[in-house]
Amino acid sequence: MHKGKSRGGKRGAGKAGAPAPDLVDAPYRKNELVTADIIGLTHDGEGVGRADGFTLFIQGALPGERVRAKVMKVKKQYGYARLEEILEASPSRIDVSCGIYKECGGCQLQHFDYDPQLEWKRQHVVDNLVRIGKLRVAGEEERGGAGKAEDDAEHGNRAGGTDAIIVHPTIGMDEPWRYRNKAAVPVGRGAEGEGLQAGFYARGSHRIIDMDDCLIQHELNDEVIRVVKRIGRELEVSPYDEETGRGVLRHVMARTGVVTGEIMVVLVTNSRKLPSADRWVERIREEMPAVKSIVQNVNERKTNVIFGDETRVLWGSEVIYDELDGIRFAISARSFYQVNPLQTVKLYRKAVEYAGLTGTEDVIDAYCGIGTISLFLARKAGRVYGVEIVPEAIEDAARNAELNGIKNATFEAGPAEVVIPRWREEGVTADIIVVDPPRKGCDQALLETILAMEPKRVVYVSCNPSTLARDLRVLEDGGYRTVEVTPVDMFPWTTHVECCSLLVRKDN
């Protein structure tokens, strides 16, 4: 804390008469205007500001800027402030195109020029590898401080620079707009009592910002949202209320096959009964002839989770089709399918490259989803085994293999950390294991199984650099070496970054 700014307010006593940490005076008070220099960005895209040595997190500020901000919340060692004025702008600052950007929580970086944004995402990955994984990265300065020797001894950190991990530049997009093939938006009533609204949540809240046009969504997804809102208002459908748990329509999801042009509309409801269901189908088909599937998902639980367990087709097919790199995929309402098809091809090609396939290898694909990576791998592998916890996704994966005439891929439903150890007991071996876990990373039991199976290579696809770094540390301590990492920008204008990493056994 910057002692020279103490205001002399109330203090509490802790042990031995020491001030209680949460009651120590803050250097600034709420609503105070301060001038801050921005020295970095957090993983959430907030500017990290310094004001008289005190740290303030300021949404909308960029590194290199000097800003005036209003203090909104203060803790002992840091606080939060609202950007009021940019005194010295960063050369990376650009004008924002979206009319609801300041309110909407969907994007965080539309004020940040795209090339510097890609550089920041690479550095974000590097920082996590070094700080959390205690890993050496090529081109980064040696970590200093008294704890370095202890870290090196504990983790067997690499000596010299020859074995340092290569982190490549982030693979970006030529046109980083209109890339999302799926929109899933909450439905509710306006704050001032307006009728049915649908859009993204405001930053840090569950207040819905009504949206008719989103610049990162495929145009057909935007049209679905507009049409469903209009029909819902005409039919006087009651929107869901999170506080009371009442209302019918909870979420609207639109999926678009970018190559095929096929559209799926999913209405997530608070009960099995959808009032005027026939009329819903008639009106959607009338306004959007490209729609091939209209689906209802029932979620009667009082939860923020979008989908419930029951899904039924109101009209048309239970799936729509799309293509990635010449492979055709059937996509159902609840199955996982990457939202940025152009970047997905780049990501999965990198995974296949890292796998180093020659046509004879046995490959396990953990968290296989609807078989997207599995089928990319199967074109060059001897045998692929895919596992995924969502049964519907596994049904889609088997259907996708058949659809493409791929006969060397086998799929099973269940937790990867349960199924793969059983496979090992049954005699299944793996030359290569590919993992693409959710944001929480790999289950510890799965990591232990990977180490026990001793594949020659591990290809780790990650959507969360912090859990990636954590898991790489475990694999490194178990006998693997991380060779290189390639960040891929799957979600332009947001803080998210995907990575593909290659690990090899140290004794190879």
The residues annotated with a catalytic role in the active site are 463
Task: Please provide the size of the chain in residues.
Answer: 508
User: Which DSSP string do the residues of 122-164 spell out, in sequence order?
Assistant: HHHHHHHHHHTT---BTTSPPP-STTHHHHHHHHTPPPSSTTP
- For β-strands 46-51 and 54-59, DSSP reports them as antiparallel
Cβ count within 10 A of residue 72: 16
**Distance of alpha carbon 297 from alpha carbon 137, whole angstroms:** 46
Nearest alpha carbon to residue 184 among 156, 164, 208, 151 = 208
Which amino acid belongs to residue 483? V
**Distance of alpha carbon 371 from alpha carbon 284, whole angstroms:** 30
**Distance of alpha carbon 442 from alpha carbon 439, whole angstroms:** 9
Q: Which two tokens stand for residue 174?
A: 């030529």
Nearest alpha carbon to residue 165 among 488, 478, 476 = 476
Cβ count within 10 A of residue 473: 17
Beta strands in 228-326 (DSSP E): 249-256, 263-269, 291-298, 310-316, 319-324
**Distance of alpha carbon 98 from alpha carbon 37, whole angstroms:** 27
Per-position b or e across 79-89, b if 16+ CB within 10 A of its CB = bbbebeebeee
Fill in the DSSP letter of residue 292: E
Q: Which two tokens stand for residue 227?
A: 């049409």
Fill in the DSSP letter of residue 3: G
Cα four-point dihedral sign 312, 318, 323, 326: positive
Per-position b or e across 361-373, b if 16+ CB within 10 A of its CB = bbbbbbbbbbbbb
Cβ count within 10 A of residue 159: 9
